[in-house]
């Protein structure tokens, strides 16, 4: 299954692991890349030294391409952090919550691609104008920071706007090969998958996170500003309910992050054995596809399943033409 995405990223399969903060550490990143997909570290919750160490660990496990995801809106000294990403051997810098115009030339001068997360058509247009090489059109069904436009509506509009210039990757509510087949049918060149990869043995997760993910239905998430101050889809719990009942007014970003941490409700990035975790208050980003997830599957197997299932769907659709 070859697309513009597999060509530009130099990978076998058009399946990208979302750079989920607190989840996408070296174990799952390397597993996805080794399977022929594209692994992406979620560095938004990492300290600088931890990020550098995680990059080194990924490179110690695989010589295949991988990327690093940072929130453009959050880090200080972005150029220095990006340089460490480049020096560590990543082939892609992924930017969320903003267009990283100040580092595009820095990346390109050292043969590193820039991917931008987009929740609107206008975001994608600005990203391409700034020189980004790939845009991820992420629908509101996605876990984590998300916008208001649904994946089915957003992806083809982004494809129409910028698809002639750069590869477009679909994201939001995609959990199996049917989603990959649908994304390709909408004109995308691949998929960006988060929530399904949380339910893998390799993903990092605080106590109770994977259990809640496996047990939850498709309507078990909510979009809230309770944890970061920005709209974020998470597993609904008593903390999100209390925030909504109080009026739902957050501290400006990143103040709400500090508040939720101070409230003992935000341990994203901690290990499963971290003490003091209350799963009914904890920050657990998840997309609406969680209702379809009922078992832990190794990350490499998931990559292969996505492709095999997509090929079967596309073959079936082809037979409908008679």
51 and 183 housed in the same domain: yes
Is the pTM value of this prediction over 0.85?
yes
- How many domains, the chain? 2
CATH of the domain at 149: 3.20.20.70
110 and 29 housed in the same domain: yes
- State residue 98's pLDDT score: 84
**Any idea of the CA torsion for 304, 307, 312, 313, to the nearest 10 degrees?**
140
14 and 34 housed in the same domain: yes
Q: Answer yes or no: are the C-beta atoms of 286 and 22 closer than 8 Å.
A: no
Q: Where are the beta strands (DSSP E) in 102-209?
A: 113-118, 134-138, 144-145, 168-171, 190-193
19 and 58 housed in the same domain: yes
Q: What is the pLDDT along the chain (322 residues), one digit of tens a residue?
A: 899 999 999 999 999 999 999 999 999 999 999 999 999 999 999 999 999 999 999 999 999 999 999 987 565 788 999 999 999 999 999 998 788 888 999 999 999 999 999 999 999 999 999 999 999 999 999 999 999 999 999 999 999 999 999 999 999 999 999 999 999 999 999 999 999 999 999 999 999 999 999 999 999 999 999 999 999 999 999 999 999 999 999 999 889 999 999 999 999 999 888 998 999 999 999 999 999 999 999 999 999 999 999 999 999 999 998 7
286 and 302 housed in the same domain: no
Report DSSP letters for 231-248, one per residue: -EEEE--HHHHHHHHTT-
Range of the domain at 90: 4-202+295-319
CA angle 314, 315, 321 (to 5 degrees): 95
Whose structure tokens read 């920005």?
230
Name the phi and psi angles at 111, rounded to 5: 60, 35
158 and 77 housed in the same domain: yes
Q: Answer yes or no: are the C-beta atoms of 234 and 283 closer than 8 Å.
A: yes
283 vs 228: CA distance, rounded Å: 10
137 and 157 housed in the same domain: yes
SS3 state of residue 206: coil
184 and 284 housed in the same domain: no
214 and 194 housed in the same domain: no
283 and 155 housed in the same domain: no
- State residue 96's pLDDT score: 85
- State residue 75's pLDDT score: 56
163 and 33 housed in the same domain: yes
164 and 219 housed in the same domain: no
């Amino acid at each position: 299954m070859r697309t513009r995405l597999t060509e530009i990223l130099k990978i076998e399969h058009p399946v990208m692991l979302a750079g989920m903060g607190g989840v996408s550490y070296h174990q799952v990143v390397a597993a996805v890349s080794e399977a022929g997909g594209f692994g992406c570290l979620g560095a938004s919750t990492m300290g600088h030294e931890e990020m550098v160490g995680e990059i080194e660990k990924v490179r110690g496990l695989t010589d295949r391409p991988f990327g690093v995801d940072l929130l453009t809106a959050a880090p200080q000294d972005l150029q220095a952090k990006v340089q460490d990403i480049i020096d560590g051997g990543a082939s892609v810098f992924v930017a969320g919550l903003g267009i990283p115009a100040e580092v595009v030339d820095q990346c390109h001068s050292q043969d590193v691609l820039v991917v931008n997360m987009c929740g609107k058509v206008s975001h994608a247009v600005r990203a391409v104008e700034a020189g980004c090489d790939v845009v991820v059109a992420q629908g509101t069904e996605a876990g984590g920071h998300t916008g208001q436009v649904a994946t089915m509506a957003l992806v083809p509009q982004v494809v129409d706007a910028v698809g002639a210039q750069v590869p477009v990757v679909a994201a939001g509510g995609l959990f199996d090969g049917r989603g990959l087949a649908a994304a390709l049918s909408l004109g995308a060149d691949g998929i960006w998958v988060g929530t399904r990869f949380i339910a893998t043995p390799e993903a990092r997760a605080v106590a109770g996170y994977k259990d809640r993910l496996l047990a939850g239905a498709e309507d078990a998430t909510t979009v809230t500003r309770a944890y970061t101050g920005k709209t974020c889809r998470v597993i609904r719990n008593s903390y999100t309910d209390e925030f909504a009942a109080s009026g739902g007014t957050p501290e400006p970003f990143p103040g709400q992050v500090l508040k939720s941490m101070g409230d003992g409700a935000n341990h994203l990035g901690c290990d499963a054995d971290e003490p003091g975790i209350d799963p009914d208050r904890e920050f657990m980003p998840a997309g609406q596809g969680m209702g379809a997830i009922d078992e832990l599957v190794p990350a490499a197997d998931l990559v292969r399943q996505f492709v095999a299932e997509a090929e079967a769907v596309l073959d079936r659709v082809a037979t409908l033409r008679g």
